[in-house]
Each structure stands twice: as C-alpha cells, then as structure tokens.
Amino acid sequence: MFKKILIANRGEIALRVIRACRELGVESVIAYSEADRDSLPVRMADDSICIGPGPSGKSYLNIPNIISAAVLKGVEAIHPGYGFLSENASFAEVCADCGLVFIGPPAAAMTKMGDKAEARSAMSRAGLPLLPGTDVLRSLGEGEAAAARIGFPLMLKAAAGGGGRGIRLVHRPEEFAHVFTTAQAEVREAFHDDGLYIEKYLGHARHIEIQVLCDNYGNGVHLGERNCSVQRRHQKLVEESPSPGIPDALREEMGRRAIQATLAIGYRGVGTLEFLVDENNNYYFMEMNTRLQVEHPVTEMVTNIDLVHAQLRVASGEPLTITQKDVRQRGHAIEFRITAEDPTLDFRPQTGVVENYLPSGGPGVRVDSHLYTGYETPPHYDSLLAKLIVWAPTRDEAIARGRRALSEFELTGLPTTIPFHLQLLDNEVFQQGQAYTNFLAEHSAEFNGKAPAAKKASVRA
C-alpha cells in the first residue's frame, strides 16, 4: 500500500479520497487552486500544495504543475478523481514517465475507450451488442450514406466526446447536413478532433451502467448496475441501484458480459460500462467510463464494497480479495445530486455563500459533500454541492427515506435542486420505476419549479 499520494482534484470527491486514505493509513496531499484555498479538502488533508490560479486550465488541468507538486511532495501516486485529468491518457503516461503511479487504468485502455467510436468497435469484438451505427465518419458524404442506411431518428455523437458532450438527435433526413456540419465545427473546437459517429436513436430506453473492478493479475468482478435514466441536458440528476424493471437474469448476463469484455481489453482498476436497455430487455453498449464516477456511492451502499479502497489497493499492486461469488447486492440505494442550479431559471448554475449548512442524517443516509456554513462557491467549476445517498431494504422505503432526508437537508444561501428531487419523488411515473430516458423531456413543465407538483401518491413506508 502507498505511504503518501497526491489528490489532483477538489470538492466532494477530493474529500472522499482523503477519507479513504485516512482509513488505509495513507498520507494524503491535496493539490488545490487559489480559488480552493479555504476549501474543506485543504483543511482535512494531511498536507496541501497550491497548483495554480482558479481557472481549471491553470490548475486542475495543468499537468506540469500537478507533476511538479507530486515530485516536490515526494508522493508515490496520484488520484485524479473524476472529471479534470481522470481520463487523460497523456497525463497517465507523464505520471509513469516521472515514476508516479496513476491511480486508474493503463493509458492504452483509457485511449481505446476514450475514442467512443473505437470503443464501440473494440467492445463489439469483445462480444458486446451494439446499436446499429458507424465507425468514425470523416466527411458529410460518408455521414449521409450511413444515415440513409441506418434510418431516422439517429444520434450523432462526438468520437472524442462522451457523457453527453457533442451529442445531437437528428429527427429527419433534411436536417442531417446542417446538424452534421455544425456538430463537426463545434466538436473540432471543443475536442480538437472532429470525428463524429452515428448510432440508431433508441427512444424509451433505460440508461443502465455496470460497475466493474479489475486487478493487475487478470481478476475482475462486476458489482451490479445503476439506473441513470433521469438526466437533464445529459447531466445525471438521480441514480439508483438495483434498477427497476431489470430482471435478475438480465442483470447477471449484462454483468458477466461487461466484465468479460473489460478483461479482454486489458483493463485495470474501476470502470463503468454504459448500456441502453429497450422495452424488450435488449441491451446495447454505448460507452465505457475509465474513471471512478460521481455516482459510485450507490454501488457502495448496495454491495458494501468501498470502491476507493479498491482503487488504492489495486493501484498499489494488491490482488482482488473477492471473487464474483462474494459479490452480493442488498437493498436499494438512490443518489440525489444536489447542485447549485435554479430549477425556476432553467437550472442555470448559480454561485453564492452557503448561509446555513446542516446535512441530513439518521439511518440509511449518506451525504458526500465539501460544504460548510460560510463556504463561498467558486465560479470556475461544476455546480455540484452535495450528493445525498439513501439506502433502505426496498425501493419504496428508499423513496420514503429520500423524501425524509431531502426535507430535513438544510442548505440556504443559494438555489439548489432539492425542490426538484422532492417533486421527482412525488411523481407516480418515477415511483412506479417507469422513468425512461425521455422522462424529463416529457415532464419538463412539472419540474421547472413553477407548475404545482403532481398529486401526492401514497408510498407505502
């Protein structure tokens, strides 16, 4: 196990890694930007080092500064968290070149999964089913020919994108040329790679992702699924496990094939394979995230496996101590992302000072947050304030507990999505586990904080 590591991240995930380090006897050094000087991770880490000014490009994305900080502090490894450099293969390579362990997958696996068109081909060769679609398209002509073959509606996606960046739904042939050319320009600007690919659009589907964990010796386990269908502009808002509507046989088959494919590409560490599942329980691989995800606590709550402990153990060369037969899912967990966005202002991100912060507690409640009373949210980063995760024996009890925990959560001084989550839990379609990927689009009037919430359905406590 490492003696000392650097955490090249901020906010709740930095705190999450610091806590795991403390439990494993690993000294934690937090890299922070000037905007995060008064943050809780700086207060809680064993040591800290400033890596630059507030803007991400000058700090959390600044590879030379982060590597210098690691060398100056004499750490053995770097934990990238999620976002920022967590899926940057060049960063992983620079770490290795400088004798530092990158706590994550091999750079080659990150590169292969980072090109979403190449990932589709690689995972198809590894036996996973795909939606009808294409490899990377290099010209409008190629795109038009493929679109004619695949049919409409179709999804146009950026090869270098992922997680919803650079995605467009094209309904009709007459729209295609314009959408393709504008997407190509925007993607070139955003990712310096204008590769686009097409997939047949699957409406009314569930977004199901499988958590996997592999060590350096070819051992791997799948840790169940998370349903992430409730998304706004491709940002996940609520995640839960197990997923309603997924039979055990399908759950087991998706997990088995996901870990088989993950081992086939030479993966190491934690990873997540995202699928779409249609109404007939056919499933299709979409993309693989080669990092720890925001919603990892949902899996931790139902499997009782600490995924950050697992990351640190695997990265330090320890073999997995569990096999697939040891993995058990128990009960039901739901995560609510509490962000500083105003549902009445179309969820526009807001900054501000946290006047009063008193997080929920009690049985089956976990709050992962870096907030404290008086904390001022910096403008440079994403708007995640806290993750509220609830666990209960059944989904109905988890919904009741979620409603109780959200109601008692005190967070004043800036708008949050707490009212949105309370409305969601009162929605009958959600309560019945029938929220598909088009749920929010179809219910937007109900969830903009203006219309009265749908009538309360009684949920058996």
Candidate ranges 161-169, 299-307, 329-337, 348-356; the one touching ligand MV4 (CB under 6 A): 161-169
Q: Is 163 a binder of ligand MV4 (CB under 6 A)?
A: yes
Q: Is 202 a binder of ligand MV4 (CB under 6 A)?
A: yes
Which C-beta is closer to ligand MV4: that of 271 or that of 359? 271
Q: Which residues does 185 contact at the CB level (< 8 Å), separation at least 6?
A: 194
Q: How far is the CB of 92 from ligand MV4 (least distance, A)?
A: 23
Which C-beta is closer to ligand MV4: that of 163 or that of 449? 163
Q: How far is CA 372 from CA 16, 40, 341, 356, 400, in A?
A: 15, 8, 18, 8, 26
Which C-beta is closer to ligand MV4: that of 274 or that of 397? 274
The closest alpha carbon to 231, from 158, 156, 162, 163, belongs to 163
Compute the distance between CA of residue 367 and CA of residue 284 in angstroms, rounded to an integer: 33
Binding mask 426-455 for ligand MV4 (x = CB under 6 A): -----------x------------------
> Phi, psi (5° rounding) for residue 354?
-75, 105
Site for ligand MV4 in 284-303 (CB under 6 A): 286
Q: Is 207 a binder of ligand MV4 (CB under 6 A)?
A: yes
Kindly state the helix (H) or strand (E) to which residue 397 belongs, with its residue range: helix 395-408
Tell me the torsion sign for CA atoms 214, 157, 436, 253.
negative
Q: Is 198 a binder of ligand MV4 (CB under 6 A)?
A: no
Which C-beta is closer to ligand MV4: that of 91 or that of 275? 275
Q: Which residues does 458 contact at the CB level (< 8 Å), separation at least 6?
A: none
Candidate ranges 101-109, 193-201, 219-227, 452-460; the one touching ligand MV4 (CB under 6 A): 193-201
Compute the distance between CA of residue 303 and CA of residue 291 in angstroms, rounded to an integer: 19
Compute the distance between CA of residue 30 and CA of residue 7 in angstroms, rounded to an integer: 5
The closest alpha carbon to 339, from 417, 413, 406, 447, belongs to 417
Catalytic residues: 291
Candidate residues 131, 187, 261, 365; the one interacting with ligand MV4 per rule CB under 6 A = 131
Coil vs helix vs strand at 167: strand
Candidate ranges 48-56, 98-106, 184-192, 201-209; the one touching ligand MV4 (CB under 6 A): 201-209
Which C-beta is closer to ligand MV4: that of 26 or that of 183? 183
Q: How far is the CB of 212 from ligand MV4 (least distance, A)?
A: 18
Long-range contacts of 149-156 (CB under 8 A, 24+ apart): 150/198, 150/199, 150/200, 151/200, 152/201, 153/201, 153/203, 154/198, 154/199, 154/200, 154/201, 155/198, 155/199, 155/200, 155/201, 156/180, 156/183, 156/196, 156/197, 156/198
- Crossing angle between the packed helical segments 107-114 and 89-97, to the nearest 10 degrees: 170
Binding mask 323-342 for ligand MV4 (x = CB under 6 A): --------------------
Strand partners, 332: 392
Which C-beta is closer to ligand MV4: that of 200 or that of 309? 200
- Quickly list H helices, 221-287: 248-264
Candidate ranges 4-12, 88-96, 229-237, 411-419; the one touching ligand MV4 (CB under 6 A): 229-237
Compute the distance between CA of residue 447 and CA of residue 369 in angstroms, rounded to an integer: 24
Q: Is 155 a binder of ligand MV4 (CB under 6 A)?
A: yes
Q: Is 164 a binder of ligand MV4 (CB under 6 A)?
A: yes
Candidate residues 12, 36, 115, 199; the one interacting with ligand MV4 per rule CB under 6 A = 199
Two tokens, residue 218 = 């070819």
Q: How far is the CB of 168 from ligand MV4 (least distance, A)?
A: 11
Beta pairing class for 27-33 and 47-52: parallel
CB-based closest residue to ligand MV4 = 164
Q: How far is the CB of 295 from ligand MV4 (least distance, A)?
A: 12
Compute the distance between CA of residue 274 and CA of residue 291 in angstroms, rounded to an integer: 13
Which C-beta is closer to ligand MV4: that of 223 or that of 228? 228
Q: Is 229 a binder of ligand MV4 (CB under 6 A)?
A: yes
> Rounded to a whole number, what is the distance in angstroms from the first to the last CA of the chain?
44
Q: Is 153 a binder of ligand MV4 (CB under 6 A)?
A: no
Candidate residues 234, 256, 330, 348; the one interacting with ligand MV4 per rule CB under 6 A = 234
Compute the distance between CA of residue 138 and CA of residue 117 in angstroms, rounded to an integer: 12
Q: How far is the CB of 82 from ligand MV4 (least distance, A)?
A: 14
Which C-beta is closer to ligand MV4: that of 234 or that of 330? 234
Q: Is 210 a binder of ligand MV4 (CB under 6 A)?
A: no
Question: Which residues of this protein are in contact with ligand MV4, per CB under 6 A?
Answer: 131, 155, 163-164, 167, 199-202, 205, 207, 229, 231, 234, 276, 286, 437
